[in-house]
A and B are shown apart, each in its own frame.
Chain A
Amino acid sequence: MFGANCRVAALSILFAATAVTAVPAQDAAPVKLGLVLPLKGIWAEPAANIERGFRVAVAEFSGKVAGRPVEIVMADDELTPNVAVQRFNKLVQLDKVDIVAGGVSSSVAIALSELADRAKKPLVLTNSHADEITGKLCSPFVARTSFSANAFQYGAGNYWAKKGARKVVTMGGDYSAGHAFLEAFKRGFEEGGGTVVLQIWTPFQTTRDWSAALTQASNAGAEFIYGYYAGNEAVQVVKQHADFGLREKLPLIGDQWLFGEAGWPALGDLVIGAKYVASYNPDATSDANRKFVMAYRDMFKLDPDVNASLGYDSGKAIMLTLEKLGGKMPADPAQFIAAMRELNYEAPRGNLHFTAFNSAHLEKEYLIEVVKGPDGKPQRKVIDAFPGGDDLPGCTKSF
């Protein structure tokens, strides 16, 4: 029994090792893209949207570039850096992919960018907003098509201060992303002339009861709470904030993660009147966005959200770069990323171009209010648009 198991394991490993021999370089050989996403667990739904967006971008080019078919190889990083490392090795060594894309969690992205740098394999990050990725840990082999935490929240903080808000409480999960996003908001807000009177950090993913935090917040004498939460936590915070009767006295304002569309059904009427900052507006009337939304609906019978647009941006940046390079991977993989850095095109979220450190610039942000539509269902209403901030400095390499 066991012997058989062992033999099967040994045989399949040997088979896997021998089956992948070098493919002769032909024009018709596929370009292989590895897509590493957290396909299971709490991030499964956003990851599915990222994958859909990515596939829409590849389909837009009919799945081909310069006559070579483009093949997507999926891998599940399980939101765990160690697993992500194994998957990256499998994609690079066994599947022989040309480019690795994906990466939602910043800890996964940090692990992968170090590996990509050593393995000299182009890595295109779809989300992973940690500032260090294109700062201290920047690499000529790594690009990020989304935006940095600082770009997003500095812009948001600055906007609120310029709108006349003077005193704010921030509230968020006590983990790396929470700190990165809310510290950035604080910088933007205080440089715009406001004051963050209190920063409340709640234990990440273990907090069930926000009453202590909300009491602290309501005694701080602020005009509103700026919150950073995602997924289940976001829904619970919004509900408890309403239960405390703070909706009028001390509104809870946040971003596309706190009031993400995925949470709307759970929130019911509580979502009406919510104001949030977003990097993407699915209702934007630009050609690029209309084309994207149509294609997305055609393919998946769904409406795209922020994550879908981030997946699409990543896929499209890769396809455009491949097209520019005539479908051939350059001998020096860093040249692929260098070619991507030259891109400048209209994406669904607005103009997309890169900084000198391979980080996509966040040109525009939206302030969106959720209103009751004619059918009684919540719908988005764009109140305002403002420019995004810059990335934090810290990259000392030049490429």
Chain B
Amino acid sequence: MTDDTAMLRATTSTIAGPADRAGLLTAGLAVACVLLAIALPTFCSDYVLTIAVEVLIAGVFAAGLNLLIGYTGLSSAGHAMFYGLGGYGIGIGTAIYGWPLWASVPVTLCCVGVIAALVGAICTRTRGVEFLLITLAFSQMFYGAAIKMRLTNGTDGMAGVPRPDLTPLGISAESPAVFYYYVAFVAVMVLLLLLRVVRSPFGSVLIGIRENERRTIAMGYAVGAYKIGAFTISGVICAVAGILQSQYTYFINPDSMSWQSSGEGILMVIIGGANAVLGPFIGAAVFVVVKQVLSLITGEYNLFFGIFFMLVVAFFRGGVVGAFRTLIGRRHERA
């Protein structure tokens, strides 16, 4: 197994040369980012904190999607279904059946895992455009079901999704700063999990599938199972983002499952750069912040955002992270 993995790694990445300076720079930047994130509530207004929360939630969603797009080479246009299912899961659990949050969340994630595995088993039999369309079709099915459901108030959606009860810690998640730390904690956990996944032998196989699927099959890997695994993990991570989003807004409605929200996830992945775990978070930050700033300036911000996105695609092939790597002279970074 390990030999194979090493071979895979050798086929899929050229190890960068001595890059101490670049490594230090990256590490320094990472530390600076963490410190900034921790200190944010001390010098920012609540408005900036809510934007930071939106960035982190969008980042978790895009990071889950990126495991499929960036690492396995499968472009899904339907991951909003898991995002929506996460929100609906805890919404139905807590607001309708009155379960506590600590029970609703694991049950929701398990259900989403099972659904993602089933949907993934069907979708991953296809490739390329077919894969894109079949994931889109599944997502539209769930969207249609959400619109029809009288239990969750149909198109209007339902309110009353609770935030975690942190009273034992003597704090309230209703406060923007506390909620920001909670979301940041979950986002860091997701980030570490993803780093662990892509740096594991499992992750190497995913990269192998992306780079050269036939060769990976020839090496004896059960590619189908790996794809389903990647699909399931990414679905569950998207559901985590959906749970955070519904807690942030206190409600869930079918819009969260629309193909537009899947599309936004793909945009974030592209802006950030698909071949890095951090990429989607940076993409999400750029996406949310640029949109917010433009909307403060003009009502027609979508037009300018479209232009901005075209520029990114035209000039930053590897997204923001790719541009950064070019800047510090590392071309083939693995995570």
Contact = CB atoms under 8 A, between A and B. Distances in A.
Interface of A: 1-2, 5-6, 8-10, 12-13, 16-17, 20, 39-40, 76, 80-82, 85-86, 89-90, 93-94, 106-107, 110-111, 113-115, 118, 130, 132, 137, 174-177, 179, 204
B159 A113 contact: yes
A115 B251 CA distance: 9
B45 A17 contact: yes
A182 to B, nearest CB: 13
Contacts of B160: 114, 137
A17 B46 CA distance: 9
B255 interface: yes
Contacts of A9: 289-290, 293
B147 A82 contact: no
A39 B299 contact: yes
Contacts of B47: 16-17, 89-90, 93-94
Contact of A111 (B51, B253, B290, B316): B253
B292 A107 contact: no
A204 B155 contact: yes
B249 A115 contact: yes
A80 B255 contact: yes
B260 to A, nearest CB: 9
B50 interface: yes
A13 B40 CA distance: 13
13 contacts: A2-B312, A13-B289, A13-B293, A17-B48, A20-B45, A76-B299, A89-B50, A93-B46, A93-B47, A107-B155, A114-B249, A130-B156, A204-B155
A106 B320 CA distance: 39
B201 interface: no
B263 interface: no
A312 B50 CA distance: 32
Nearest to B296: A16
Contacts of A86: 50, 54, 292
A1 B289 CA distance: 16
Contacts of B66: none
A137 B255 CA distance: 20
Contacts of B44: 17
B48 A114 contact: no
Contacts of B251: 81, 110-111, 114
A81 B157 contact: yes
Given A107-B255, A118-B250, 6 more contacts: A9-B289, A13-B289, A85-B248, A89-B47, A94-B45, A111-B250
A311 to B, nearest CB: 19
B50 to A, nearest CB: 5
Contact of B250 (A6, A20, A40, A114): A114
Interface string B16-49: 0000000000000000000000000000111110
B296 A111 contact: no
Contact of A81 (B45, B248, B249, B289): B249
Interface of B: 44-48, 50-51, 54, 147-148, 153-160, 174, 248-251, 253, 255-256, 286, 289-290, 292-293, 296, 299, 308, 311-312, 315-316, 320, 323
Contacts of A137: 159-160
A72 to B, nearest CB: 15
A185 to B, nearest CB: 18
A137 to B, nearest CB: 6
Contacts of A6: 286
A118 B253 contact: no
A5 B308 contact: yes
A175 B148 CA distance: 8
A110 B251 CA distance: 8
Contacts of B153: 110, 132, 176
A361 B157 CA distance: 25
Q: Which of B160, B253, B286: most chain A CB closer than 10 A?
A: B253
Residue among B251, B253, B256, B316 with most chain A CB within 10 A: B251
Contacts of B292: 13, 86
Q: Which of A12, A76, A113 neighbours the largest number of chain B CB atoms within 10 Å of its CB? A: A12
Contacts of A90: 47, 296
A81 B51 contact: no
Nearest to B258: A80
Contacts of B48: 13, 17
Nearest to B250: A114
A93 B45 contact: yes
A175 B157 contact: no
Given A6-B286, A90-B47, A114-B251, A107 B157 contact: yes
B249 A106 contact: no
Nearest to A179: B154
The 10 closest A-B pairs by CB, nearest first: A93-B47, A176-B156, A114-B159, A114-B250, A175-B155, A107-B156, A94-B47, A176-B154, A93-B46, A17-B45
A82 B246 CA distance: 10
A80 B312 CA distance: 27
A94 B51 CA distance: 12
Nearest to B327: A3
Contacts of A175: 147, 154-155
A1 B45 contact: no
B159 A2 contact: no
B57 to A, nearest CB: 11
Among B44, B46, B47, max chain A CB count under 10 A is at B47
